[in-house]
Amino acid sequence: MRAACGRMAARGAEAAASIILLVTLTFVLAHASPGGPAYAIMGLKVRPDTVAAVDHQIGADTALWLQYLTWWKHLLQGSLGTSYLLNQPVTGLLLGYAGRSLLLQVSGLGLGVILTLAGGIAHGKFYDTRFGRLLGAIEIMFYAMPGFVIGTFLALLCAGLLPSSGIADLHHAAPSLADRLRHLLLPALSLGLMTYSGLARYLAEGIAAELRLPYTRTALAKGLGPWAILSRHVLPNALRPLITLLGLSLPALAAGSVAIESVFAYPGLGWLLWRSALSHDYPLLIGGVLLTGLATILGNLAADMVNTILDPRRLYA
Amino acid sequence: MPDILPAGTLHDAAILAEARPPAARVLLDLWRPLRALAALLCFSFLGPFAWRQDFSHIDARAVLSAPSWAHPLGTDVLGRDELARLMQGGATTLSVAAAAAAVAFVLGLTYGLCAGLGNAWLDRALMRLLDAVLALPSLVVLICFSALMQANDTAMALLIGLVAWPPLARLVRNEAAALRHRDFILSAQQLGAGPAYIAIHHICPAMGRLLAVNATFLVADAILSLTSLSFLGLAIQPPRTSWGQLLGEGVELLALHAWWLVVPPGLLITASLFAADSAGRALLFGRKSA
């Protein structure tokens, strides 16, 4: 128990260090934006005396360490400034888009787990047959494809069958649930295929290795059917390392979803981040980087903690 | 046995044999995956000598034309030849990615050697910092910085290299920390070799295979980062182009069913990632797995 607490404390400290680094990085970014904050607020044609006035008003003429402390103060109060383009507070904007991103991530992950289980079990069960090798080739093909290529090809294949942009049909004021689901399907499936390509191979090799062990022969001799052996004995053993891998693949999935949201014009956090980068809307961009960075760091931390509870061997690794 | 040979000779010879596989063997390991990479390099760099169309020539009479003899892969929304654009895009993608991988390689190697061969507190401090850096989502950091700066090739290569080095640094650190107590390092120290000399002449050659494997993985990683960024329109700017940017342009025209603007760049990106990845695997596990 003490070892578990120690490890969790160490991981917590590590995550805190990452967060401090992230906040410092965004501070540097805010100061590196072309021309400085006054130009960013007033536009590039502003007069020099106005620049001085704005700098004084927002405190940009004080010492750098003082500004750094103010940066932290504002963050802790949850205020991230105002978006130049949309003229709304960044915090509220981000939270609205983050909800849609979360919906996409969760449904993508759900589809991914289903695909991984189905594909991985089939591949593991028929590991040495032609069917198994075909499944392996499919896994490798998707593994080499970045998420946005998978998304693009899906959109091309399903053109006319399924909508490939937005979250609902624009012609209806109040879109139905079915319509929303139809719009969610392709981006979620792209994310699901990314998850599948990373995990199914491990599951298949785990199952194939377990099936070669003597205890499965014993179970067979006892008279258990092949599917009962698989579900009751082999799967629990083969699934455990998969949870670790799932946790490890979350950051890649979050990164992949930025490009996938841009393929399908899905208005989530990644899409917002992308648009604000293209239009040089720095407060929104920096807010988005902070929020996605924070989500990644905390997600990693949570995955690691769950792993430590599930698999005590990691404590002594 | 110890009386016949001077102490250490056999041991060091064994280590050298283990550390440096014969050059012929390495070439054999690399040939299969490198065939794909060589084909992609030929397409990108030698292709323009065979297919002499200007990638930036605008032809208003041939806008969005489907593949034909005049344009084997069709034309884009400005009537530019897609095949010539894919070749130019490949040259840009592969050269910028290679430069980025080189930057990441040097950074990761230096950082890892400093941590692995330095004293305990330096090691600990560097590794904590590394953990913090590793936890940052790299694509988000890349998007943010590329929005802030002028996107020329050098800046792109530096930026992607600056984000890609941490995994290599950790591997190098672990390997160097394990090697530093081996006999051949200790004997070099006894002979008066300084830390930099030992790092360059003893540690680096001893982990040659690890470095080669991870250099190829770094190339795959850099191709992925660069294509993602240019897909989002944040890396290579027009009139020059890259595979990611071509795919991004194709996606905007998906409603017009211009499949020839989407399928070839998508397949080329996939093929280049597959080639770099399998070259690394072949080096890691030997020829069979390639």
Residue A81 lies in a domain: no
A292 and A153 within one domain:
yes
Residue A41 lies in a domain: yes
Which of B138, B227, B251 is nearest residue A255 as measured by Cβ atoms? B138
Say what the pLDDT of residue B20 is.
55
Q: Given an 8 Å threshold on Cβ–Cβ distance, is B133 in contact with A280?
A: no
pTM of the model: 0.83
Q: 3-state SS string over chain A?
A: CHHHHHHHHHHHHHHHHHHHHHHHHHHHHHHHCCCCHHHHHHCCCCCHHHHHHHHHHHCCCCCHHHHHHHHHHHHHCCCCCECCCCCCEHHHHHHHHHHHHHHHHHHHHHHHHHHHHHHHHHHHHCCCCHHHHHHHHHHHHHHHCCHHHHHHHHHHHCCCCCCCCCCCCCCCCCCCHHHHHHHHHHHHHHHHHHHHHHHHHHHHHHHHHHHCCHHHHHHHHCCCCHHHHHHHHHHHHHHHHHHHHHHHHHHHHHHHHHHHHHHCCCCCHHHHHHHHHHCCCHHHHHHHHHHHHHHHHHHHHHHHHHHHHHCHHHHHC
Calpha distance A198→A296 (Å, rounded): 18
Q: How many folded domains does chain A comprise?
A: 2
Residue A39 lies in a domain: yes
What number of other Cβ atoms are within 10 A of residue B20's Cβ? 14
Provide the domain limits for residue A134.
90-316
Residue A38 lies in a domain: yes
A153 interaction partners in chain B (CB closer than 8 Å): 262-263, 266
A112 and A49 within one domain:
no
Q: The domain that contains A167 carries what CATH number?
A: 1.10.3720.10
Which of A18, A153, A288 is nearest residue B132 as measured by Cβ atoms? A18
A71 and A95 within one domain:
no
Give B 119-148 residues with CB within 8 A of chain A: 128-129, 131-133, 135-141, 143-148
Q: Given an 8 Å threshold on Cβ–Cβ distance, is B270 in contact with A254?
A: no
Residue ranges in chain A modelled with pLDDT below 50: 317
Which of A152, A164, A255 is nearest residue B140 as measured by Cβ atoms? A255
A289 interaction partners in chain B (CB closer than 8 Å): 140-141, 143-144
Residue A52 lies in a domain: yes
Residue A278 lies in a domain: yes
Say what the pLDDT of residue A124 is.
86
A164 and A95 within one domain:
yes
Of the residues A30, A54, A76, which one is the last residue of a structural domain?
A76
A94 and A66 within one domain:
no
State the count of interchain CB pairs (< 8 A) between A and B. 128
Say what the pLDDT of residue B3 is.
41
A39 and A6 within one domain:
yes
Which of B144, B254, B277 is nearest residue A144 as measured by Cβ atoms? B277
A136 and A71 within one domain:
no
B281 interaction partners in chain A (CB closer than 8 Å): none
pLDDT one-digit tens code per residue, A238-294? 887 787 777 777 777 777 788 888 888 888 888 888 888 888 777 788 888 888 888
Q: Given an 8 Å threshold on Cβ–Cβ distance, is B228 in contact with A259?
A: yes
Q: How far is B3 from chain A (nearest CA, A)?
A: 41
Q: Does B216 touch chain A (CB under 8 A)?
A: no
A24 and A127 within one domain:
no
Residue A84 lies in a domain: no
A104 and A72 within one domain:
no
Say what the pLDDT of residue A60 is.
65
A207 and A126 within one domain:
yes
Q: Which residue of B has its CA nearest to A251?
A: B137
Residue A290 lies in a domain: yes
Residues 6+ apart with CB under 8 A from B37: B272, B275, B276, B279
Q: How far is B228 from chain A (nearest CA, A)?
A: 7
Say what the pLDDT of residue B94 is.
92
Say what the pLDDT of residue B289 is.
44
A172 and A37 within one domain:
no
Q: Given an 8 Å threshold on Cβ–Cβ distance, is A15 in contact with B139?
A: no
Give B 241-280 residues with CB within 8 A of chain A: 247, 250-251, 254-255, 257, 259, 262-263, 266, 269-271, 273-274, 277
Calpha distance B41→B3 (Å, rounded): 55
ipTM of the complex: 0.80
A71 and A94 within one domain:
no
Residue ranges in chain B modelled with pLDDT below 50: 1-11, 288-290
Place of tokens 């990761």: B108
